[in-house]
Structure formats: C-alpha cells, structure tokens
Amino acid sequence: MNEVAIQSDGVATPDFKKIKKKQQLIRFLKGILFLMPSIILFAVFLFYPLIRTIYLSFFLTDASGSTTVFVGLDNFINMFSSPVFRKSMQSTFLFVIFTVPGTVLIGLFLAILANEKLKGIGFFRTIYSSTMGISVAAGSVFWLFLFNPTMGWLNEILNFFGIEAIGWLTDPSWALLSVSITTIWMNLGFIFLILLGGLQSIDSYLYESAEIDGASYFYKLRRITIPMLSPTLFFVITVSLINAFQTFGQIDMLTSGGPQNETNLIVYSIYQEAFMNYQYGTASAQAVVLFVIILVLTFIQFKLGEKKVHYQ
Amino acid sequence: MNQVELINVSKSFDKQQDILNDINLSIKKGEFFVLVGPSGSGKSTLLRMIAGLEDITDGIIKINERAVNHLPPKDRNLSMVFQNYALYPHLTVEQNILFGLRAKKVNKQEQQKRLNETCQMMEISNLLKRKPKELSGGQRQRVALARSVVSEAPLCLMDEPLSNLDAKLRAHMRIEIKRLQKRLGLTMIYVTHDQVEAMTMGDRIMVLNNGRIQQVGDPITLYNKPANLFVASFIGSPKMNMGKAVFSDQHLIIEDDLHLPKESIKSAMISETKNITVGIRAEHILPAEDSGVTHELTVVNVEQLGNETLISFEIGKELWTAKWLGQWNVHTGDKLPVHISADNISFFDSNSGRLLEASSTEKEEVLAI
Amino acid sequence: MKIPLRRKVIFYILLVVSAFLVFAPALIAFMMSFMTNQDIMSGKLIPTTITFDNYLAVFERFPLLNYLLNSFIVSIVIMIGQLMLSSLAAYAFVFMEFKGRNFLFFVFISTMMVPFEASVIPNFQTIRDLNLIDSYAGLTLPYFAMAFGTFLLRQNFKQIPKELKEASEIAGMGHFKFYLSVVLPMAKTSLITLGVYGFLTSWNMYLWPLLATTNDSVRTVQIGLKQLQTQEQLNEWGVIMAGGIIVVIPTLILLFLGQKRLQQGLAEGAIK
C-alpha cells in the first residue's frame, strides 16, 4: 500500500503542472469567450476607426472616401491656418465655457432644492429630470419656436418690457449664446439626476450632528454638502465637458453652423467637411483634434477622479 | 482508512509568502476534525484548498487515497457550508436545497426523496416555499446544513458556520451539528476561531498559527499537554495563567513575586533551561482551606458567575485568574489564602516556546466511568 | 429634522418657479400641439379651442407611425444587445480569473476615451461597405459594446458574495449556467436601470441615424422630426409641435417610471 502510494506520487507530481497549465488555458479561453462579443465590436467600431481616422488624416480622398494622395501633415497645416477651422475651435471653446458652468451650477441648485424632505418633492424631481427624456431633435424644435423672431415667446417677453426684438438664431452676436442656452436646458436633466444621487448618498448623521451644534443652513451647505459632493461634482464637470465637445444635433437643427460660422462647433465642422464637402482627409484631421481633446479630458478625469474617490 | 490526507502542503501568494507551510495531516473516515486558530492563521485557506477553491502551491492533497490537486471542486465529492451560508437570495428554500442536485442532473424522483428525508431530519419541511430573506439566522443555518446533507457527499467542510448566530443558538447548533455528523457517518472538517467550539465538537483538533501546525490531538491532550505556549494560551477559558520564572537557591521565583519550594520540582531538564515560563490553569489555584495555605494573594477583581467565581490577582506584571466552583464571598482588596502546588504547573522554554514538562495532574482529572 | 416654516415657504417658491422654468419649453409645445393655427398666430398662451387636427395632420402627411416603429425596433435591439454584451463582459471581469484579465479591463476603460463622433467617418464607410446603410443592423450594431454598461454591471456583480459562486462550483455548475440562473436574476434591478438608460439614449440618437439612413425604410423618429421641421411651412407650428410631443412621450413615460432607479444606478456606475 505504502509503496504504491509513493510510486503514484512520483508519477503524479509532474503531471499536476501540466494539468495546471492546461486548466489555465481553458480558463483563459472561457474568459475570452465571455468578452469576445464586446471585444470584436470594440475592435470594429472603435479601435479600427480610430486608427483609420489617423491614417485618413494624412491623405486626400475621393468622394467615396478612398485615399488618393499622401499629403503628410498638410491636412493639419491647412486646417490650423484655415480661418474657418480657427473660428470653429474658438466657437467650440466659447460654447464649452458657456455651457459647462451653466449646466453644473443650475443642476446643483436644482439638486439641492430637490434634496429637501418636503411633501411632493418627488413631483419636482421628476420635472427637473424630465429634459433627460427629451431628445435633441424634439428639444430643438421646442426652442426653435421660442427663438422665433416674430412669434417666439422670448421676443414677446422682451416686447412686453419694451425691449427691441433679438434675432436669437440669426444675429451672429447672439446665436452661440442661444444654442448654449438650449444645450444647458437639454443636459440639465441628466446632470441633475446624478447630482441628486450624490447628495442622497451623503450620510444624514453628518447633518444631524451639525444640527446639534447649531449650524446654519448655508454653513452646512458650504462645510458638509459641497465637500462631500466633490467627487460627484468632479465627475459631472468632466462629463459635461466631454458632452459639450461632442455637441451636434442642436446645431444641425437650430443654426446649421451659421450665422457666419458662429455656431460651427467642431463635430458639426467634421460632419460638413466629410459628408457635405466629401473632404474625408481634412475631416479626419479635425476628428483627430477632437479625439486628442477628449483623450486629455478623460485622462484627467481618471487620474484626479481616482484620488477623489479614495478621499470619499 | 484515511479520508483526507495532506502531504507537505504549502501555500503562498505572489505578495504574501507562506500562507501555509509544510502541512502534513491525515483525517480518518467518520472523524470530526477541527481546524482552529486566530484570524489570519491560514485555517480557512487550508479548508478551501481541500475544497478545491484555492490553488495548491506545493504538496499533495489526497481524498480517498487519490491525489486530487488537479480536480475541480465538483469532482472531489464533498459538500461545504459557508460562514454566510451562501444561500441564493432569489431562490426558495426548496430550490436552494436542490440546487446542487439539479446542477448534477439527479433524477426528479431521487431529488424529491432526498429532499423529504433531509427536511424531516432538519425540521424545515414547513419552510420550503420561503425565500432566505424570510428566515431567521438559525433557520438559514439549517437550510445551509440541509443543502450539504442532501448532496450525500461523504466529506463535509464547514467554514465558521456558527459565527453569525447569537450565543444561545450557537451552543444549540454545536450539539446538533455534532449529532448530525455522527448519525450520517460524515467525515467533517470544521474551521473555527473559537476554541470552545473546537473543544466541544472536535474528535481531534489541529491548532494553526501563522500558517504552521502548532499541535494536533484530541481536546483533552491539547488542554493538559499543550505543545507550546501558543496552544497553552489559545486553548482553555479563562486562559492559562503564565509567568516568567527563575531559580534561586531554594526557590522557583515566578515574576519576582511568587515563591515555590525548589525540591518539589523533579525534572532535571527544567533546572537546566535558562529562561522558563510557567503556566497554571485557573482551576489549579485552589482555595486554601482544606489543602494548607501556600500563598496569600491580593484580590484585584472578582467576577461572580453564579455557579463559579473568577478571582483575579496581580502576580508581578501578569494578571492571574483563579476559578473556584460555587459562590465565594470575596471582595477586591481582600488578602486571600490560596494553595498552589508545583504539580499543577506546566513548564515551557521561554525562547522556543516549547513545552518542557506538563502538569502532572492529568490522571486525577480525567475520570473514567 | 424639522424644517422651519419660513424656510419651507421659501423652498416651495423656489421649487415651483424652477419647475415652471425647466418645464416651460415642453409645456408650451404641449399646449401649442392642441391649438388652432389662428390661436398660435395671435400669440395665445392657452388654447381657446382644443383641437386634435395637428396630430391627425402629422400622421397623415408624414410616415410618423413608420418612424416610431423603426425607433422602437432600433432602441429595443440596442438595449438588448447592450444588456447581453455588458453583462457577459461584467461577469468575466468579476467571476472569472484568467491571465490577461486586467489588461482586457484596461482595454475596456480605454474605449471611454474614444468619442463616437471622432470615429464616425470610418464607421460610416464600414457600414456602407458592408451594405448595411438603411438597415436595422447598420443602425444598431455599433452601439452594442458599451464600457459604461460593463462598469455599472461589474459594480453590481461585485456585491454578489463570492461564496455563492464557490457553492455553485462545489455543486458542479458551470460558468454560463451560473451566469444565467444566479447572476442575472440577482442583478435584475441594475439590468433594468441599464436597460432604461440604453433605451433612452438609443431613442434620442441623432448623428448616427442621420448618416446611416437615406430613405424612410428604417429612418428613426428623430430624423423624421428634423425632416418635418425643415419641410413644413413656418406657419404650421402646431403640426411640428404635435410631432415633437409624440417623439418625447415614450421616453418621458419611461423616465417618470424609472427616475428613482436611474438616479441610483447612474450614480453607482459613474462614481464608484
């Protein structure tokens, strides 16, 4: 009995390693199998296009998008020296500066209001989050009427106060602002919802102990709510930043980039260049710029966000 | 016949070396074997290695004389009860109990037969349609046990199954699990950090610390002849009273405080060891009335438990406790005459921690009927 | 905590005013959709007579029903695709251990850095070359794989005690069966949250359907609305608004029903 045991030990020991290797391989294959659908689709619709976009940005193309002439960095050089593109970049950054603080501050205000334990608060929460359910196309149509120079409510209100009518979407000095207002309204629901979620996850003990210490409402807001909400706020700010750079629908519906390219934001500019002018090469160069901007923003979010979460 | 055998088993993770070190062990068929140790001692890891949930770094694990290192848990023919019971919250009690049988595609009639038997045995027949959320802690525990029983696996592993119950229920379930194991003839490997559980349930106990076996033996041996200081202090409640001791001309002096006549110590080996630690169980510091006063000690604390009285003294820097049966009218600050006999003292080498000589009272203590 | 009466009154005033401001654009559109053209032209706030003519007109003159159906199909297909792919991937990241898992997780994270808008040109070419322009497949396929959904579900799956997985291993249950019979039922709430989110965003998609559809066969309702707006005469505001209201009703209902869940779910997936 003992002898047999020893013998089988001698044979079995190297076997285990082999079997272990094989089991590891099987585990790997099983894991890949679960991830395969996602990986394939990411490869086809995300990583390949990314590389292809960079590739295209070095070429001139025909109307179908096939490459014709290698031009090196010419597309980029032309792009950065083009006044239209510079205008587009300028508008995009202005648009970001208008919309991000606007959305976050108003969203925060609404979230703080809706976080009070008052009767019927559920109704107000629903209303405030409602714009998340309103599509870009529908929202644009609603605002198109409000901006309407003759019948629109905004001008009627101005008229009521005796102020001269404004060409909200046609006046170059107003158009970008009008589009920004619309965008703030459209993004408000989503931002509100996330901020409210953040507020509700703050431990109520903190408020109760402050209450016992006799802290005032604004003291609690400044010393408890805002610091505790900082990770959520940070997330919301980066998400709005990224969203702002990707804005397209409301431009297409409200202004088509005009007047005088005032609202020709970068995605709309890419769209026009590629699908109206069939300049896939230059459009790709612009897309590369957009990609770099988003990359940097996301990277900042991950790096800083990590710290904030630990802090929480 | 050995149901489970471990040969030179060790475990290390990438970052943490030596979770378990050179474990050799054999567990007999039908034995109730307890793995006990403080948290982080590696006892759960060892159990999970036997179950097949954890990789084996080195060595061989055999179940039924067959090396099983490479086998997945399901092919090891065992059942397991987890600390949190691992009941599926979205399934009813019945579905939970039959979970394993369904996974193994046991036929429907057999499933029902085993379910009925098990539920009658565990007295949970009236709970079958409930979800785990609707059960009390004790009921969940029974369902988890039933799931293990219904599998009819000859080897059952339990990982601290009673730690989520309150004290009363725990005492009750200890007995029930032990009875169940004997009745079904299961081989049980039971992990706990609670030495009382280990002492009351185990046929044999293995004490584990820092990934190394400290001692394997039946409960009484562990109590009377602890292999080292760790086992001595880990097993027994209240824990064994310890103190550093030195020899002078005629005395053994404990903690610069307590003197015992040297001639009462027989073993030569003890006198040759430089650093000695002595240990004495609480029940061996006796009331002095009938056996003659050896020492007078100042009482620093008294705990009245009703059936017994715990009295604490300060011996040098150590706090010693005496356990006296019955109720004693003693107060803090009293000078209390006690009887301490050198026969009742165990001697340990302070450097290695190893036992030099156990107290020689065991023969009187273990009564045979 | 008791709120003093004075503060209560201030809060209610602020709540009501804000609610009105936020909801005004939609409310105005809603009222206009029931107004006659005369009412609109004369700048009435509240309709003098309620009419359904605008709704009749928008369905008569426009293949709106067809668009709605397309949007439903596209949104539901994307939603199901996202739920399946995200849950499978999240399962692998939580319950399976294999070499390269951390690397693949990093790959998933990195996809969040690539905006769809920046890769829209090659995607358009791919779909065109696969002859998937004007097909449901072309509209939905690029949206199936989703890093955000994977993270949200991964976060949720991690709360499932690992002992449940181990118990299933001892019982001899394989990965796929455990995924189907334990993980999915236990994560029902998160799956619903993600489903609602997926449906909302798909229903509201704009750029991609604009590129991937050239005729009415699979055109979604958002693009339909754009066409309605550009083709209708400016004095037909009632009809346009009726179209807009029809477009937002399904998503608003979904949002009202799932607001609470969405709020908790999004916060979980986003922050943690």
Structural domains counted in chain B: 2
Enumerate the residues of chain C whose CB falls inside 8 A of the CB of residue A53: 118-119, 121-122
Interior/surface letters B182-209, b for 16+ CB within 10 angstroms, e for the rest: eeeebbbbbbbbbbebbbebbbbbbbbb
Round to whole Å and give the CA distance between B281 and B320.
9
Q: Are C236 and C37 in contact (CB under 8 A)?
A: yes
Cβ of residue B90 closer than 8 Å to a chain C Cβ = yes
Contact C1 A50 (CB under 8 A): no
* For residue B147, pLDDT beyond 60: yes
**How crowded is residue C136: how many other Cβ atoms within 10 Å of its Cβ?**
15
B151 to C186: CB separation less than 8 angstroms, yes or no: no
Query: What is the DSSP track for B79-112?
Result: EEE-TTTT--TTS-HHHHHHHHHHHTT--HHHHH
Residue A274's identity, in one-letter code, is A
Looking at every residue in chain B, the average pLDDT score rounds to 89
Which of A112-116, A303-307, B36-40, C94-98 is predicted least confidently?
Answer: A303-307
Residue A95 reports pLDDT greater than 50: yes
CA distance C269 to C193: 10
CB contact under 8 A, B70 and A5: no
B52: tokens are 């097949």
Q: Which pLDDT belongs to residue A305?
A: 66
* DSSP strand pairing (B2-11 vs B58-63): antiparallel
Helices C237-271 and C53-61, axial angle in degrees (round to 10): 80
Domain that holds residue B202: 2-229
pLDDT of A312 reads 33
User: Which one is predicted more confidently, A165 or A91?
Assistant: A91
Decide if B60 and A23 are in contact by the 8 Å CB cutoff: no
Which of B212, B229, B246 is at the close of a domain? Answer: B229
Q: Which residues of A touch C30 (CB under 8 A)?
A: none
Return the HEC string of chain A.
CHHHHHHHHHHHHHHHHHHHHHHHHHHHHHHHHHHHHHHHHHHHHHHHHHHHHHHHCCEEECCCCCEEEECCCHHHHHHHHCHHHHHHHHHHHHHHHHHHHHHHHHHHHHHHHHCCCCCCHHHHHHHHHHHHHCCHHHHHHHHHHHCCCCCCHHHHHHHHCCCCCCCCCCCCCCHHHHHHHHHHHHHHHHHHHHHHHHHHCCCHHHHHHHHHCCCCHHHHHHHHHHHHHHHHHHHHHHHHHHHHHCCCHHHHHHCCCCCCCCCCCHHHHHHHHHHCCCCHHHHHHHHHHHHHHHHHHHHHHHHHHHHHHHHC
pLDDT given for residue C47 in this prediction: 78
Residues of chain C with pLDDT under 70: 1-2, 232-235, 267-272
- CB-based contact C166 B83, cutoff 8 Å: no
The answer to whether residues B322 and B179 belong to one domain is no
- Residues of chain C with Cβ-Cβ distance to A188 below 8 Å are 22
- CATH says C63-231 is which class? mainly alpha
B79 touches chain C (CB under 8 A): yes
CA distance B70 to chain A (A): 6
- What gap in Å lies between CA B346 and CA B224, rounded to an integer? 9
| Mean pLDDT, rounded, for B1-22 | 83
- Could you tell me the two tokens for C1? 């905590």
pLDDT digits (tens, 9 = 90+) for B24-56: 999 999 999 999 999 888 999 999 999 999 988
ipTM: 0.88
User: How far C169 CA lies from chain B's nearest CA (Å)?
Assistant: 6
pLDDT at A295: 87
With an 8 Å Cβ cutoff, are C166 and B151 in contact?
no
The answer to whether C156 and C186 have CB atoms below 8 angstroms apart is no
What's the whole-number mean pLDDT along residues B126-146? 92
In angstroms, how far is CA A305 from the centroid of its own chain? 15
Same structural domain, B86 and B47? yes
Q: Are strands B32-36 and B204-209 parallel, antiparallel or unpaired?
A: parallel
Q: How far is CA B263 from the centre of its chain?
A: 36
Give residue B131's pLDDT band: very low, low, confident or very high (50, 70, 90).
Answer: very high
| Phi-psi domain of B252 (left: phi exceeds 0; alpha: psi -120 through 50; beta: other) | beta
Write out chain A residues lying below 8 Å of B67, CB-based: 8-9, 12, 16
pLDDT (average), residues B321-332: 91
Q: Give chain A positions within 8 Å (CB) of B7.
A: 9
Residues B9 and B140 in one domain: yes
pLDDT of res. A10: 43
Same structural domain, B157 and B287: no
Is the bond into B238 cis (omega within 30 degrees of 0)?
yes
How buried is B1 (Cβ within 10 angstroms: 0-12 exposed, 13-18 middle, 19+ buried)? Answer: exposed
Instruction: Please compute, for residue B355, the number of CA atoms within 13 A of its CA located in the half-sphere on the CB side.
Output: 21
Q: Which two tokens stand for residue B222?
A: 């562990």
C-alpha distances in angstroms, C54 versus C64, C224, C245? 13, 16, 11
Per the CB < 8 Å rule, is B70 touching A8? no
Q: Which helix (H) or strand (E) holds B308?
A: strand B308-315
Q: Count H helices, E strands: chain B?
A: 10, 21
Task: Check whether A1 has a pLDDT greater than 80.
Answer: no
pLDDT in tens, B272-294: 777 889 999 999 998 887 667 88
Residues in A 5-64 with any Cβ partner in C closer than 8 A: 24, 27-28, 30-32, 34-35, 37-39, 41-42, 44-50, 52-53, 56
Residues of chain B neighbouring C161 (CB-CB closer than 8 A): 84, 86
Q: What CATH code is carried by the domain that includes residue B89?
A: 3.40.50.300
In which band, very low, low, confident or very high, does the pLDDT at B361 lie, cut at 50, 70 and 90? Answer: low
User: Which residue segments constitute the domains of chain A, with CATH numbers given?
Assistant: 15-70 (no CATH), 82-308 (1.10.3720.10)
Using the predicted structure, report yes or no on whether residue A271 has a pLDDT greater than 70: yes
Q: State the pLDDT at residue B267.
A: 65
pLDDT of residue C272: 46
Chain B: partners with 3+ C-beta pairs within 8 Å: A, C
Rounded Cα gap, residues C153 and C94, in angstroms? 10
- Residue B249 pLDDT greater than 90, yes or no: no
pLDDT band at A306 (very low <50, low <70, confident <90, very high): low
Closest residue on chain C to A230 (Cα): C271
**B192, B287: one domain:** no
- Of B229, B257, B273, the residue at which a domain comes to its end is B229
Task: Tell me the nearest-neighbour CA distance from C268 into chain A, angstroms.
Answer: 9
In degrees and rounded to multiples of 5, residue C70 shows phi and psi of -60, -45
Does the pTM of the predicted model rise above 0.90? no
Among C10, C22, C42, the strongest candidate for a mutation testing the A interface, having the largest count of A CBs within 10 A, is C22
Phi-psi region of C100 (alpha: psi -120 to 50; beta: other; left: phi over 0): left
Residue in B53, B90, B151 closest to C166 by CB: B53
Q: Contact partners of A by the rule of 3+ C-beta pairs under 8 A? A: B, C
One domain, residues B72 and B207? yes
Using DSSP's 3-state secondary structure scheme, residue B216 falls into strand
Residue to substitute from C46, C74, C80, C119, interface A, most A β-carbons within 10 A: C119
Cα B66 to Cα B4, B58, B61, C31: the distances in Å are: 9, 16, 8, 80
- Picking from B230, B235, B286, B279, the residue whose alpha carbon sits closest to that of residue B255 is B279
Question: What is the distance of C-alpha B25 from the center of its chain?
Answer: 16
C43 chain-A contacts, CB cut-off 8 A: 151, 156
Q: Looking at residue B142, what is its pLDDT?
A: 92
- Distances from the Cα of B205 to the Cαs of A226, B354, C198, in angstroms? 56, 18, 56
Neighbours of C110 (CB within 10 A): 16
Q: Looking at the complex, does the CB of residue B53 fall below 8 Å from at least one CB of chain C? A: yes
* Mutation for testing the C interface, residue in A47, A52, A141 having most C CBs under 10 Å: A141
The answer to whether A13 contacts B60, with C-beta atoms less than 8 Å apart, is yes
Checking if the pLDDT of A12 tops 70, the result is no
Asked if omega into B154 is within 30° of 0 (cis), the reply is no
Candidate from C161, C172, C177 with C-beta closest to B84: C161
* Gap between the Cα atoms of A303 and A309, Å rounded: 11
Listed residue (B188, B186, B140, B141) closest to B161, CA to CA = B141
Predicted confidence at residue B310, as pLDDT, reads 94
B331 shares a domain with B292: yes
pLDDT band (50, 70, 90) for residue B235:
very high
Per-residue pLDDT at A311: 39
Q: Could you give the strand order of the β-sheet that contains B187-192, starting from the edge strand earlier in sequence? A: B78-81, B155-159, B187-192, B32-36, B204-209, B212-217
What confidence score (pLDDT) does residue C142 get? 93
Helices (H), ranges, chain B: 43-51, 93-103, 108-122, 137-150, 167-184, 195-201, 219-224, 229-234, 268-272, 362-365
Average pLDDT over residues A91-119: 93
Q: How far is A3 from chain C (nearest CA, A)?
A: 32
Confidence check: pLDDT of B5 > 90: yes
Residue-level pLDDT at A47:
92
- Report the range of poorest mean pLDDT among B253-257, B326-330, B346-350: B253-257
Query: B244 with B195, same domain?
Result: no
Q: How confident is the model at residue B252 (pLDDT cuts 50, 70, 90)?
A: confident
Pairwise CA distance, residues B73 & A17, whole Å: 18
- My answer on whether B295 and B186 are in the same domain is no
- Residue pointed to by tokens 């809706």: A114
Cα angle, residue C26 at apex, residues C25 and C32 outer, rounded to 5° = 90
Name residue, tokens 């251990």. C97
Tell me which chain C residues have a C-beta less than 8 angstroms from the C-beta of B79: 170
Of C12, C98, C118, the CB nearest to A53: C118
Domain final position from B229, B255, B289: B229
Q: Which residue among B7, B65, B70 sits closest to A16, beta carbon to beta carbon?
A: B70
pLDDT band at A9 (very low <50, low <70, confident <90, very high): very low
Mean of the per-residue pLDDT values for chain A?
86
Q: Does A304 touch chain C (CB under 8 A)?
A: no
Distance (Å, whole) CA A225 – CA A202: 8
Q: Are residues B225 and B269 in the same domain?
A: no
CB contact under 8 A, A9 and B69: no
B90-to-C166, C170, C188, C228, C268 alpha-carbon distances in Å: 17, 19, 10, 49, 22
CA distance linking residue C188 with residue C78, whole number of Å: 18
